[in-house]
């Protein structure tokens, strides 16, 4: 691209969705750096974080864009983007993925404001790549609901329509979330990526109950990739699973143990088998 008053990358007016480092500042792309330094406005959840990236100085107006003020901020940011460069960033990684920035992007499309993507670091892509799972048929769940029942329902739904599920989780809730995965779909394999691109980065693969123990009381933001059980291929599979469940009940097996074992053997969600226990 030719040299311009907006930098060597010739940025046109519009809204730019700019990926920023997950941890290591060396991951900031040259184009992203140039854009942040020449933009008229930069919208971020935490403006203090993005200011650390603009080491060459910037005349940009830094605007806080959070879950609580996004609707109030949108009109002003779109007005700026109609005639100049406006950058949207998140605290780390690619914005508008499980964060309020997606509403600004949607509003820009609705108002005919050009939207451009400046690709770069993404916790979602990094965790998928580090998991080693076959990632076709992946379902991204964002952050799981806080309530157990809603979590279980979401995970069971995912098992019915995807081969792999990915979700973000805070460190304090990680162990509980992994146990809920086991409750919903069985003790399946998963990969936990913690502190991606930082000094203490970990990408650990194992079964979810084992991982729940390992990451009890952990620190650092986490991305979890779950290999879901194969979907049932017909009613015959379900009938066989329920027959095994009934036989285990007659033999005196515990409900939770039987549900987990039959889930492992037959591939049906553990939660479905657990709920069916009383009917057998």
pLDDT one-digit tens code per residue, 5-21: 344 466 899 999 999 99
Mean pLDDT of 266-273: 78
3-state SS track over the chain? CCCCCCCCCCCCCEEEEECECCCCHHHCCHHHHHHHHHCCEEEECCHHHHHCCCCCCCCCEEEECCCCCHHHHHHHHHHHHCCCEEEECCCCECCCCCCCHHHHHHHHHHCCCCEEEECCCCHHHHHHHHHCCCCCCEEEEEECCCCHHHHHHHHHHHHHHCCEEEEEECHHHHHHHHHHHHHHHCCCEEEEEECCCCCCCEEEEEEHHHHHHHCCCCCCCEEEEEECCCCCCCHHHHHHHHHHHHHHHHCCCCHHHHHHHHHHHHCCCHHHHHHHHHHC
Question: What percent of the chain lies above the pLDDT cut of 70?
Answer: 94
Q: What is the mean pLDDT of the chain?
A: 89
**Fold (topology level) of 124-227:** 3.30.950
Q: What is the pLDDT of residues 45-75, one digit of tens each?
A: 999 999 989 877 788 999 999 999 999 999 9
At 5 the pLDDT is 36
**What residues does each domain of the chain span?**
14-121, 124-227, 235-279
Query: Does 264 or 136 have the greater pLDDT score?
Result: 136
At 4 the pLDDT is 38
2 CB-near residues (< 8 Å, 6+ apart): 10
Q: Are 22 and 90 in contact (CB under 8 A)?
A: no
Examine the pLDDT at 277 and tell me if it is beyond 50.
yes
At 1 the pLDDT is 34
Q: What is the pLDDT of residues 198-219, one digit of tens each?
A: 999 999 999 999 999 999 988 8
CATH code: domain 14-121 is 3.40.1010.10
The answer to pTM > 0.85 is no
Looking only at Cα atoms, what is the longest distance across the chain? Answer: 79
Q: What is the pLDDT of residues 82-100, one digit of tens each?
A: 999 999 999 999 999 988 9
Q: Are 113 and 79 in contact (CB under 8 A)?
A: no
Examine the pLDDT at 234 and tell me if it is beyond 50.
no
Q: What is the pLDDT of residues 154-188, one digit of tens each?
A: 999 999 889 999 999 999 999 999 999 999 999 99
Of the pLDDT bands very low, low, confident and very high (cuts 50, 70, 90), residue 126 is very high
């Amino acid at each position: 691209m030719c040299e311009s008053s907006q930098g060597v990358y010739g940025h046109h007016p519009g809204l730019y969705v700019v990926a920023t480092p997950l941890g290591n500042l060396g991951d900031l792309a040259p184009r992203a750096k140039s854009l942040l330094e020449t933009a008229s406005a930069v919208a971020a959840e935490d403006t203090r974080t993005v200011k650390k990236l603009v080491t060459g100085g910037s005349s940009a107006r830094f605007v806080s864009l959070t879950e609580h003020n996004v609707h109030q901020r949108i009109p002003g940011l779109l007005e700026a983007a109609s005639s100049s460069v406006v950058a949207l960033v998140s605290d780390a990684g690619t914005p508008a993925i499980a964060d309020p920035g997606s509403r600004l992007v949607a509003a820009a499309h609705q108002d005919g404001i050009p939207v451009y993507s400046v690709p770069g670091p993404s916790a979602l892509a990094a965790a998928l790549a580090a998991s080693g799972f076959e990632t076709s048929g992946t379902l991204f769940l964002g952050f799981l609901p806080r309530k157990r029942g809603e979590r279980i329902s979401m995970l069971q739904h995912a098992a019915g329509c995807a081969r792999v599920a990915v979700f973000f989780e805070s460190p304090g809730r990680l162990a509980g979330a992994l146990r809920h995965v086991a409750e919903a779909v069985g003790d399946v394999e998963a990969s936990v990526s913690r502190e991606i691109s930082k000094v203490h980065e970990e990408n650990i693969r194992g079964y979810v109950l084992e991982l729940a123990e390992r990451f009890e009381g952990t620190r650092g933001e986490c991305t979890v990739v779950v290999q879901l059980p194969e979907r049932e291929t017909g009613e015959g599979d379900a009938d066989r699973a329920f027959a095994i469940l009934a036989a285990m009940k007659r033999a005196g097996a515990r409900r939770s143990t039987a549900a987990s074992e039959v889930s492992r053997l037959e591939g049906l969600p553990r939660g479905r088998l657990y709920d069916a226990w009383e009917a057998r």
